[in-house]
A and B are shown apart, each in its own frame.
Chain A
Amino acid sequence: MADTIGLTLNGRSQEVAPAATIWQAARAVGLEVPTLCYDSRVAPAGNCRVCMVEVAGERVLAPACARQVQPGMVIETQSPKAVAARRMVVELYLADHPLGTCGVGKGCELEALARRLGLRGSRFPARSSAPKPDLSSPVIAVDLSKCILCRRCISACSDLQVNNVIGLDARGFSTTISFDTNLAMGRSTCVSCGECVSACPTEALVERLHQDVAFRPDARKTRTVCPYCGVGCNVELHVVDNRVVRVTGTRESAVNLGKLCVKGRFGYDFIQHPDRLTRALIRRPGVPREAADQGDPRDCFREASWDEALDLVAARLGGLKARYGPDALGVVSSAKCPNEENYLIQKFARVVLGTNNVDHCIRLCHASSVAALIYALGSGAMTNSSFEVYSSDVIIVMGSNTTENHPIISSHMRQAAKRGATLIVIDPRRIELVNHAHIWLRQRPGTDVALLNGLMHVILKEGLHDEAFIRGRTEGFEQLGPVIEAYPPERVEAITGVPAADLVRVARLYGRAKAAAIYWGMGMSQHTTGTDNCLSLINLGLLCGHVGREGTGLNPLRGQNNVQGAGDMGAIPDNYPGYQPVEDPGTREKFERAWGVPLNPRRGLTITEMMEAMRQGGLRGMYIVGENPLVSEANIAHARAALFRLEWIVAQDIFLNETARYADVVLPAACFAEKGGTYTNTDRRVQLARQAVEPPGEARADWEIICDVAVRMGYPMPYEDLAEVFAEAAAVTPIYAGLSYARLQGEGLQWPCADATSVGAPFLHKERFTRGLGRFVPCHQRPPRELPDDDFPFVLNTGRVLEHWHTGSMTRRSHGLDALYPELLVSIHPLDADELRVRSGDRVQVVSRRGRITARAEVTEQTPKGSIFIPFHFAEAAANLLTIDALDPVAKIPEYKFCAVRVERAA
């Protein structure tokens, strides 16, 4: 095809792109054709008919938004016929939507167009009755009397997000936008992603939060990265008077194309919540830690100046180090903090405190995935980009409730499935993705290795494996056969409950696929067999050669927005930045040279091991940054007892959370909106964040606080800004070596990026695996640690819900999210509920060997019979009071996804 074609636009010859629409071609040469129904992100619907233009030789006007150009076309965008048609359309609209109808200030494209065309009124009578406003959703206001039926909301909902909630009811003049079967929005299956709001050209759909100021013309917009999950969506924070009042998605972003989920769009109120810490706090003398359990935990503290607090922190940390040695101290870093801060925090631990006892929540989410990937392939990260779902013909999602936990990646998957990819879901719960899946395998909880071995058994037996790949790129294949020999489909059916025939179908689909990718979540990693689970996934990928090509790969979906980056930056006890082992003398020397101090040669303790060390008295002091282990650790009662044995705790956070309240000193930190930095999302994309507002009160960015403590402890950290920190980190982190703030300005880059010419890697392991050959590590099925019995007959599964995040400290302080999902619900299967005589809304008590909680039940077939599901966001009924602290032997990740509980009706 030629690069350009020639045509005539409004009398002038032009060269335009051959695949362009008339609208695009016109725009490229500086001609604006007005549109109303057009949304450049989806196929044109072409229904409003305001963009009509005249094409010479055609009787009928052509929609510029939808019509492709052709060589030699003679187009008039402003011919009398086209202008008359456009004016008529707008005039017809104005009959029911007079100027001034949209007054909130979001702006109305129709009214703007009418003014541009000089139309003030309409010759047509207004309709007699208009629809009433619908305020049933706490976050979105619906007023269809302002609707112009352009259907942009429908394509936003169905084509972009693939939620399929919005449709049309009736026809002709009676046509209306309809949520499900004409329900109020708040009672429909709407997931409040707000994509329709962002698409709507009028104020028929508009944000409800802060409506009084959200659309003020003086609002400033700052592009940054969403603070929630690992997808790493780009957002614009709209700021009025130093307050974030609205969030929109960045359409240019390669990650999310402007799409957001409910948390990203509506979960920002926490930034300016009155509970924010604004002063440093020091525990009042003689007040015991447990005093925080009664009344307002703030009463346990007095406010202090920064100088006093920092002096105290430096003195106490120094004292503990002097008395007990550096390994008596531990640091918990935060996957909510940017790379620069994680780099500084781990450097602080290693250089200033002299210990490798530094870890973060990676331990609790994907430590096993990372361990398995590093061991077998050499890189502990997703091998693909999330965008590559569009290049896969088979997509397997296993142990990931992607729709709730990585909403925008799920939306890409749903779109891929809609475009024809085969989506296979393997999960004990009937998660939302099942609605879009071609096949769903519902295995019994804790039988994943058997299931994967069963798939491999079939693949090998039917010769669907990739011999050339195995020969050329892997090692250890000979050990696989003898293990998976023991997993014929019939036996796997007996273990997993998955029908043998379904297993065979999936094996064939995966084995025969041109490009297949596997995505998994914490349903795989959070088990005592977490590493085995992930190794088995890797075995499967290697067996079929589905790694290292576009659209083929092995992908753990990472939890926190910067959990990938925190690990990359070395906030883990066994590795320096860039996954360079602390126990390797050569590497250590390199870092000693870079940092100018001798380093501790012993690998440090993981978070879970630190708990044990506290219990046994080996660990005496902790520095906890942006974490809340007393809600997020498994078996909280145990963790609390351990933490209470510490001599001294400093917590640095944005809220006085359920852990910080027991600290001796609390330092007020800035949140994401109040600082810059870079975040590395789940597909290794390093993205630049930007400051939008000033921190409240005396709160300061974590990096500034850490640097000040370091100085007071005798190790100056004189950084001008985060760019300087980043430059230092990149210099010692080979996978980041080619990155700089200058290069990250646009859409960011995906590591590895070895030098300034590298453009990064959308997918890994192209010609060789990072470690050379891919390694098969066959595993046998092993049972979870605590199986149900007569006293504790149910399996407890824990996890997250769409509306909330982690321990809830941010989301439960966001008005919209709290309104949408105000309290904990325990999901239970209808048959089990029947037996217990429990109905949705009844209060139930859930008891394990470690604790008990009371909450309302939600009866749903989502959860398999014999199992219950509890999200862990709710401190007042913390799921982790129940969970077991049994660890995966390799990765030390707790078994959050499986323990035995009993369910009782509560009074």
Chain B
Amino acid sequence: MSAPAYEKVILRNLQDPGYRGTLAEYRARGGYSGLPKALQLQPQEVIDLVKQSGLRGRGGAGFPTGLKWDFVPKDLALTKYVAINGDEGEPGTFKDRQLLEQEPHPIIEGTVITAYAIGAHVAYIYVRGEFVEGAKVFQRALEEAYAAGFLGKNILGSGFDLDFYMHRGAGAYICGEETGLLESLEGKRGQPRLKPPFPAVKGLFGKPTVVNNVETVSNLPPILVGGPEWYAGIGVPPKNTGTRIFSISGHVERPGNYELPLGLPLRELIFEHAGGIRGGRQLKAVIPGGASSPIFTPAHLDVKMDFDSVAAAGSMAGSGGVVVMDETTCLVRVARVIAHFFAHESCGQCTQCREGTAWLHKMLTRIDEGKGRPEDLEVILDVCDNMKGKTICVLSDAAAMPIESYIKHFRDDFEHHIRGGACPTGMA
């Protein structure tokens, strides 16, 4: 219980036992003091300030937030939109859920700041369908914010107007992909759009739109209050600044959400913050950034958990979902489960993805059941190779990359299954 303590940016208020995240409680702790600061600046100044902070998207791609905003045309006459991504579907990730349920007001405050910066007067939040409690809490927070004048007409007397609507998903992972989300918001079948054009230029209803993750915008009020230099001082400046919430799960003693500065070693996350491997077993593998990310082995324990270091080590920081697996885990089974997920969630547009995810699942099931054929691994790797970098969205890549990495790092598990028709770990 002696994990090192770090300054918290987003989950700060939640350290108080009994904090419910109501408007009054949030304000009592300094909430909604970032917004007036933003409203006093010119929109471009807000964009520049966010750029200086170094904030990068927490939804998965880690794209610099200020830069994304800057792509939006500055034409004042154009209708623009903000869409907040609360669809959180990445397996192993459960941070946005906590924010929605326990700390909704920073999301609202951050959204108003975003809208002001790009000149949008309508914002939407897309909340994952299963988040029943989160949706309830968030709706209440919206009403509170309207009543207090943080939303609606002439916010805080600034002359700036913003309406903010909540939309609830219906159970499709692909609606978390930003253009799938926009299609779904428009009332259409949730499937990603061809890019370019990117949403910042042609997004919701054909208008320029910024899509940001729930956690990303929750960082904005503290950045405005504390200043970009303060924020950029956390983590690994200049490109991996601030904190992020790691959702640590799997075979650890203390699974949960941990807000930590970017750049701590993976070892510290697992062994100090999450209390180490459950039951004192040996670590076998770690998914470092949600199910889409290529797997790490114990050899990767010293990788620093920031965007660029994880990428340099061959994986991706993704959504911050860290899934820890001990020695009892069979990677063939993991592959099968993950493949099933992506086959189930592919929207079905792109041939490689629609057919490829299905065949991967089929072939991995065959191997898991001891019916694999010697040539299967090569066919799988060939499919994976042709699923990457060739489709409308990156779900196809996300489905292929982890499987490739499992075979690369744990080929023995697979060959054992194929050769012996049984699992080396004895997993049933």
Contacts and interface: CB of A to CB of B under 8 A. Distances in A.
B194 A88 contact: no
Interface stretch (A171-179, A386-394, A672-680, A692-700): A171-179
A66 B375 CA distance: 36
A124 B360 CA distance: 10
Given A46-B194, A88-B382, A92-B356, A172 B390 contact: no
Contacts of A323: none
Nearest to A84: B386
Contacts of B282: none
A44 B389 contact: no
Interface stretch (B132-140, B318-326, B344-352, B407-415): B344-352
A874 interface: no
A168 B390 contact: no
Interface string B325-364: 0000000000000000001111111111011111100100
Contacts of A167: 189
A47 B193 CA distance: 10
Given A47-B349, A93-B351, A172-B348, A88 B362 contact: no
A125 B362 contact: yes
Max chain A C-beta neighbours (<10 A), residue from B172, B354, B386: B386
A44 B379 contact: no
Interface in A454-505: none
Contacts of A63: 194
A149 B390 contact: no
Contacts of A45: 349
A123 interface: yes
A171 B362 contact: no
A46 B358 contact: no
B348 A88 contact: no
A115 to B, nearest CB: 18
Contacts of A151: 349
A172 B347 contact: yes
A93 B350 CA distance: 11
B352 A149 contact: no
B359 A124 contact: yes
B188 to A, nearest CB: 10
B383 interface: yes
Contacts of B355: 92-93, 95, 124, 173
B362 A85 contact: no
A59 to B, nearest CB: 6
A49 interface: yes
Contacts of A48: 350-351
Contacts of B346: 171-173
B325 to A, nearest CB: 26
Contacts of A170: 348
Nearest to A60: B389
Contacts of B405: none
A52 interface: yes
B389 A49 contact: no
Contacts of B392: 46-47
For A44, A95, A171, A172, the residue with the greatest tally of chain B CB atoms inside 10 Å of its CB is A172
Interface in A394-431: none
A174 B346 CA distance: 10
B348 A61 contact: no
Contacts of B352: 49, 85, 88-89, 92
A669 to B, nearest CB: 52
A172 B352 CA distance: 11
A438 to B, nearest CB: 17
A477 B278 CA distance: 92
Contacts of B391: 49
Contacts of A93: 351, 355
B174 interface: yes
A480 B357 CA distance: 70
A44 B392 CA distance: 12
A297 B131 CA distance: 75
Contact of B358 (A52, A123, A172): A172
Given A171-B348, A173-B343, A85 B357 contact: no
A125 B362 CA distance: 9
Interface string A154-184: 0000000000000110111111000000000
A639 to B, nearest CB: 54
Nearest to B366: A125
Nearest to B386: A88
Contacts of A50: 351
Interface in B378-401: 379, 382-383, 385-386, 389-392
Nearest to B396: A49
A66 B350 CA distance: 14
B389 A59 contact: yes
A647 to B, nearest CB: 68
B358 A171 contact: no
Interface string B174-196: 10000000000000010000100
B191 to A, nearest CB: 8
Contacts of B347: 171-172
B354 A175 contact: yes
Interface string B280-312: 000000000000000000000000000000000
A89 B345 contact: no
B351 A44 contact: no
A61 B351 CA distance: 14
A173 B358 contact: yes
Nearest to A58: B389
Contacts of A168: 189, 348
Contacts of B194: 44, 46, 63, 66
Nearest to B385: A84
Given A149-B348, A172-B358, A85 B390 contact: yes
Contacts of A149: 348, 351, 354
A641 to B, nearest CB: 60
Nearest to B194: A46
B357 A172 contact: yes
Given A47-B349, A63-B194, A92 B359 contact: yes
A60 B359 CA distance: 22
Interface string A36-70: 00000000111111101000000111010010000
A89 B386 CA distance: 8
A800 to B, nearest CB: 35
Nearest to B191: A171
A217 to B, nearest CB: 29
Contacts of A95: 355, 359
Contact of B344 (A88, A125, A172): A172
B351 A92 contact: yes
A174 B347 CA distance: 10
A111 B174 CA distance: 31
B390 A171 contact: no
Nearest to B197: A68
A276 B108 CA distance: 75
Contact of B345 (A66, A85, A172): A172
Contacts of A47: 349-351, 392
Nearest to B348: A175
A92 B356 CA distance: 7
Contacts of B375: 123
Contacts of A59: 389
B130 to A, nearest CB: 17
Contacts of B362: 124-125
A172 B354 contact: yes
Contacts of B172: 171
Instruction: Kindly name the residue among A88, A93, A148, A167 whose own CB sees the greatest number of chain B CB atoms within 10 A.
Output: A88
Given A171-B347, A172-B345, 11 more contacts: A47-B350, A52-B390, A60-B390, A61-B389, A61-B390, A84-B385, A85-B352, A93-B351, A171-B345, A172-B357, A173-B358
A-B complex: 4 closest residue pairs judged by Cβ atoms: A173-B358, A175-B348, A88-B386, A92-B355
11 contacts: A44-B194, A47-B392, A49-B351, A49-B352, A49-B390, A49-B391, A52-B390, A84-B386, A123-B375, A168-B348, A173-B358
Interface of A: 44-50, 52, 59-61, 63, 66, 84-85, 88-89, 92-93, 95, 123-125, 148-149, 151, 167-168, 170-175
